[in-house]
Structure 1
């Protein structure tokens, strides 16, 4: 039995994400939670002819506790687009609920800024003595999805987009997003111009802005993010069921695999408590953090540019929680 829970299920990402999880044959129960509209979303989804039983909860009557009880996997898309301060508070409160009611669940954080919200969840779990770094993931899959799609476009064959695999490392915003295009399963055309390469990197890093602009201020990347979140959730569920050899980039704690993260720190020339790189998934969550491998000069420069920003983002998340837990005078 697999109970998947979506926190923020009535939002722009939450609804299509809940739909995709309802359609996933590995999910037998779906718990939906949000501050408004969740019973309606649950009723709508419950009419879909797939096995997952759906329940929707609101904050009243211990809704968060009911949604989380028995959860195998919790996905958090809750929050307000491009409002980091508000999202930090929302994620802290939801993490407190998970620590209390579903401490063994695999937790997938989508709420931005992921570079800071994942450390927030980790710190809250530590405060409750429930922290298992192997079970906490920042979902960076949208960067990977974009990279695959854009490379397939350049190769002139969108049918390749499901096959193209481009590792994307670092973090999940702007310059912290580092596509390792030299390691793409489908190499870029020979003689691909430097300007074209730079434009492609920029498009992968700032793809979210492209969507915001196209939606004319009426929203952000919700549908593609829901797809990416459901894809990553599916990989975690398959690994937990015992499927071997599943590798995907995710923003995880260095503590999830100290040997792998020590090798990564050596490559980076710096120790970071969180970083996104390829991780091997297993029944316990993260089984292995995989080092970056051979990089081009351009990629090395991108990684170097990402580190200071990442470091600041992580500190922001950690400091937010320590401030929140300070005794009130």
Structure 2
């Protein structure tokens, strides 16, 4: 039995994400939680002829407890979406409290689950979840993931438009964080190898870093990147399930993680990024979650400059998340 729980299942990301998880045959139970509409979303999805049994919960009647109990995987897309002119810093003021309260529920009712955090700003919400779990003495760094997969998806898509190839065949490592200048696409490591001009690299990098703005502008106040984020979240969830349930080896996905998850390499990994505790590296998944965190590899001088810009921003984002919890204790 494999139970997956979506916290924030009625929202713009939550609904399509829940649909995609319903189609995943590794999942036998899908629990949906939100402050509104989750029983309706569950009823709708329950008509799809795949094995997963779907249930929907609201805050009343211990809904969060019921949704989380015995969960193998918890995905958190909860929170408000970004609107035109809104920064991820603006989002923090609203979403930090939401994520803190959900993390408290996880600590109480699903302390052994794999936790996938989509709620923005990811650079800060991941440290929030970690600090809550530490407070409850259930912190396992191998099981906590900030989902940065959308940056990887965009990098493949945008690069393939220039190359003229199938985007599914293009792989670009994206490291750093999950907002603006903290997103560092390593185009020098693109697979299959492709030589871009300096101008192409600069334009591609900017588009990957600020691709979310394209969607916010195009939706004209009606939302942010929800469908693409749902697909990216489902892709990462599938990778986690393939590694932890099916035991598939060699699965590598970029993710924003606590570097203490890899005790053997954490000192080197931290040194390479100015001592940061959190960073999005290529992560090799295993039956217990994080098996190994891979380093940066060879980066170009241009990418080194991008990292130099990303690191101080990430440091502030991380401190903001940690301070939010400790100031509320």
CA displacement 1:98-156 (0-9 Å, x = unmatched)? 00000000000000000000000000000000100100000000000000111111111
Is 1:17 the counterpart of 2:23? The answer is no
Q: Distance in 2 between matches of 1:255 and 1:197?
A: 32
1:123 counterpart residue number: 131
Query: 1:27: how far off?
Result: 0.7
2:88 counterpart residue number: none
Q: Distance in 2 between matches of 1:53 and 1:153?
A: 39
C-alpha contact 2:21 2:27 (8 A) present in aligned 1 = yes
Match of 2:183 among 162, 166, 177: 177
State how 1:106-145 maps to structure 2 within 5 Å.
106-145=114-153
Q: Distance in 2 between matches of 1:193 and 1:294?
A: 18
C-alpha contact 2:259 2:270 (8 A) present in aligned 1 = no
Q: Distance in 2 between matches of 1:259 and 1:299?
A: 26
State how 1:92-107 maps to structure 2 within 5 Å.
92-107=100-115
2:170 counterpart residue number: 164
2:160 counterpart residue number: 152
Match of 1:271 among 271, 275, 296: 275
Q: Distance in 2 between matches of 1:154 and 1:2?
A: 41
Normalising by the residue count of structure 1, what TM-score does the alignment of the two structures yield? 0.96
CA displacement 1:232-281 (0-9 Å, x = unmatched)? 0000000002110001100000110122222222333x111100000110
Query: 1:16: how far off?
Result: 0.1
Q: Distance in 2 between matches of 1:156 and 1:84?
A: 38
Q: Distance in 2 between matches of 1:320 and 1:280?
A: 30
Query: 1:187: how far off?
Result: 2.6
Match of 2:266 among 249, 252, 261: 261
In structure 1, runs of 5+ residues without a counterpart are none
Match of 1:214 among 215, 218, 239: 218
2:65 counterpart residue number: 65
C-alpha contact 1:22 1:52 (8 A) present in aligned 2 = yes
In structure 2, runs of 5+ residues without a counterpart are 83-90
What is the root-mean-square deviation in Å for CA atoms of aligned residues?
Answer: 0.8
C-alpha contact 1:181 1:187 (8 A) present in aligned 2 = no
Structure 1 runs, 4 residues or longer, greater than 2 Å off: 258-261, 265-268
Q: Distance in 2 between matches of 1:153 and 1:89?
A: 39
2:54 counterpart residue number: 54
2:249 counterpart residue number: 244
Q: Distance in 2 between matches of 1:322 and 1:266?
A: 26
C-alpha contact 1:261 1:291 (8 A) present in aligned 2 = no
Q: Distance in 2 between matches of 1:129 and 1:62?
A: 22
2:92 counterpart residue number: 84
Normalising by the residue count of structure 2, what TM-score does the alignment of the two structures yield? 0.96
Q: Distance in 1 between matches of 2:229 and 2:185?
A: 17
Query: 1:180: how far off?
Result: 0.4
